[in-house]
Chains A and B, each alone.
Chain A
Amino acid sequence: MRLLFPAATALGAVAIGVAHYLAFVHVPMESTMGAVQRIFYFHVPSAWLFYLGALLCFGASLGYLINRKARWDAFAHASAETGLVFGLIVVVTGPLWARPVWGVWWNWEPRLTTMSLVLLMFAAYWVVRAFGGPGQGVRRFAAVLAVFAGPSIYFVRVAVNRWGGVHPPAETASRSDDVIKLTMYTCFFLLLFVFGLLLRIRYRAHRDALTVRAVRRRLARLGGI
């Protein structure tokens, strides 16, 4: 049982290797975009995982506001952090792909704009957690932030779609053939495993921090007597 987590971590490393093999060796060259298209196998699953992290953070934060269990907050914190890592992968790989294909590093394409704004929201969440202090008030502040981010993501989507009405939505999934799709989903599940590992590591770290704080408080109280 004690070896379970190290074994899982090793498996995660293998998963990353397999994902690279699939993306760079296994899958055939896409005809119109060429080699740059291979970045999709990381870019697209990472985007899904970023939104998964945001969703988990939203749910856990709402739960924390209702039941006030510090564990829920620790989970929300961990999922925001994990999601943010994958969000960073998205914003790094995106321009790398866009430059050769679109000819520009950045384009006000609705999906891109929405993603970057949501990323900013969760970056703000992370800043609050990292620099706001450890108190209960900050935990509540962060939870409210995550809960507010939920509907505001919807509004961002609607506004950005209307705003960037001239750009056609990126149609990447519709014209890709089966092997590309299959590889994409496989990479998603491989990266999902890594996501789960990272989430668990961060969750445990935050829970341990809570325990340490509780023990410190108790010791201080004992010392006071």
Chain B
Amino acid sequence: MTEARPPAPRPPRTRAPGYTRTVLIVLAKDARTELRSKQTLATMLLFGLVLTFVYAFGFVSDPATNKKVMPGAMWGALLFAGTLGVGRTFAREAEDGAFGALVLSPAERSAILLAKIAVNVALSALVMVVVVPLLAVMLRVDLTDCAGLIALQLLLGAIGFAAVGTPLAVMAVSARFAEVLLPIVVFPMVTPVLIAGVKGASVALGTAIETDPWPWLQFTAAYGLVFGAGGLFLFERMVTE
């Protein structure tokens, strides 16, 4: 009576998952770890809340002035909290020494970057969902009429910011003082997003001379598109070995 042999192990899969699947896998992995630890989201949110107080104490004034200050406060919060998130993009991988494994895996590298950009956009969006209404309450600005427009502006801005910030954050990992260097490096580059966002928001709030918010929206979208596409295209060249 021969003992039943255990089934032969399946040969390892050699083919990499498709592009979209890779994006989804990395995205799901990050979403899962983030939902379990809540590290990045919690710190970003708390930082966002602290910022609302900073802005409120710094700028709160009569209703007309508050309305003019609101765009800058929102976009400042997006940039500062966003930097926190972007800087943590590959922090978990770096801590566990998993970054090399991720890069060495047969997965398309730009797919990994795309997933990471999506994670950063999602984190920024979640923070802004909390911070913007809170700012509106504290500065007593009524956003109900233009909430959709402002949300769209912030979303496009978050995409542009993440499209620039994420690849740079990846590259910064190998530098000393990476966490200090990152904002120095990213902020001048995202000033176009900031200008377009603040201007667009003041158009939406009716405090600007212009009345048409679409040119600024298109501008922000173009920015995100150019840097997103450029980053994805160049990423293969950025991280070798």
Task: Specify whether A and B are partners.
Answer: yes
Task: State whether A124 touches B192 (Cβ < 8 A).
Answer: no
Task: State whether A141 touches B172 (Cβ < 8 A).
Answer: yes
A-B pairs under 8 A by CB, number: 94
A105-149 residues with Cβ-Cβ distance < 8 A to B are 117-118, 120-121, 124-125, 127-128, 131-133, 135-138, 140-141, 144-145, 147-149
Task: State whether A127 touches B237 (Cβ < 8 A).
Answer: no
Task: State whether A117 touches B188 (Cβ < 8 A).
Answer: yes
Chain A residues in 8 Å Cβ range of B181: 124, 127-128, 131-132
Chain B residues in 8 Å Cβ range of A214: none
Task: State whether B184 touches A141 (Cβ < 8 A).
Answer: no
A210 interfacial contact with B, CB 8 Å: no
Task: Give the docked Cα–Cα distance between A135 and B173 (Å).
Answer: 11
Q: Which of B171, B192, B231 contacts A140 (CB 8 A)?
A: B171
Task: State whether B184 touches A124 (Cβ < 8 A).
Answer: yes
Task: State whether A121 touches B172 (Cβ < 8 A).
Answer: no
Determine how close the nearest CB of chain B comes to the CB of A108; give it in whole angstroms: 11
Knowing A124-B185, A145-B168, A151-B227, say if A132 contacts B173 (CB, 8 Å): no
Task: State whether B185 touches A147 (Cβ < 8 A).
Answer: no
Chain B residues in 8 Å Cβ range of A136: 174
Task: State whether B196 touches A159 (Cβ < 8 A).
Answer: yes
B56 interfacial contact with A, CB 8 Å: no
Chain A residues in 8 Å Cβ range of B28: none
Task: Give the docked Cα–Cα distance between A66 and B237 (Å).
Answer: 7
Chain A residues in 8 Å Cβ range of B188: 117-118, 120-121, 124, 152
| Per-residue B-contact encoding for A10-27, CB less than 8 Å = 1, 0 else | 000000000000000000
B167 interfacial contact with A, CB 8 Å: yes
B164 interfacial contact with A, CB 8 Å: yes
Task: Give the docked Cα–Cα distance between A141 and B234 (Å).
Answer: 12
Task: Give the docked Cα–Cα distance between A162 and B223 (Å).
Answer: 15
Task: State whether B184 touches A144 (Cβ < 8 A).
Answer: no
| Per-residue A-contact encoding for B179-212, CB less than 8 Å = 1, 0 else | 0010011011101100110010000000000000
A88 interfacial contact with B, CB 8 Å: no
Chain B residues in 8 Å Cβ range of A138: 174-176
Chain B residues in 8 Å Cβ range of A89: none
Determine how close the nearest CB of chain B comes to the CB of A138; give it in whole angstroms: 5
Number of interface residues of B (CB under 8 A): 33
Q: Which of A120, A121, A145, A158 contacts B219 (CB 8 A)?
A: A158
Determine how close the nearest CB of chain B comes to the CB of A221; give it in whole angstroms: 20
A160 interfacial contact with B, CB 8 Å: yes
Q: Which of B168, B175, B230 contacts A151 (CB 8 A)?
A: B230
Chain A residues in 8 Å Cβ range of B175: 128, 132-133, 137-138, 141
Determine how close the nearest CB of chain B comes to the CB of A153; give it in whole angstroms: 9
Knowing A144-B238, A147-B234, A149-B189, say if A160 contacts B176 (CB, 8 Å): no
Q: Which of A65, A120, A133, A158 contacts B192 (CB 8 A)?
A: A158
Task: State whether B192 touches A156 (Cβ < 8 A).
Answer: yes
Task: State whether A159 touches B173 (Cβ < 8 A).
Answer: no
Task: State whether B234 touches A145 (Cβ < 8 A).
Answer: no
| Per-residue B-contact encoding for A63-93, CB less than 8 Å = 1, 0 else | 0011000000000000000000000000000
Chain B residues in 8 Å Cβ range of A131: 176-177, 181
Q: Which residues of A contact B (CB under 8 A)?
A: 65-66, 117-118, 120-121, 124-125, 127-128, 131-133, 135-138, 140-141, 144-145, 147-149, 151-152, 155-156, 158-160, 162-163
Query: What are the nearest 7 A-B pairs in CB distance?
Result: A137-B174, A132-B175, A141-B171, A155-B192, A120-B188, A159-B192, A159-B195
25 contacts between A and B (CB under 8 A): A65-B238, A117-B188, A120-B188, A121-B189, A127-B184, A128-B175, A128-B185, A132-B175, A136-B174, A137-B173, A137-B175, A138-B176, A141-B171, A144-B234, A145-B185, A152-B189, A155-B192, A155-B222, A158-B192, A158-B219, A159-B191, A159-B196, A160-B195, A162-B215, A162-B216
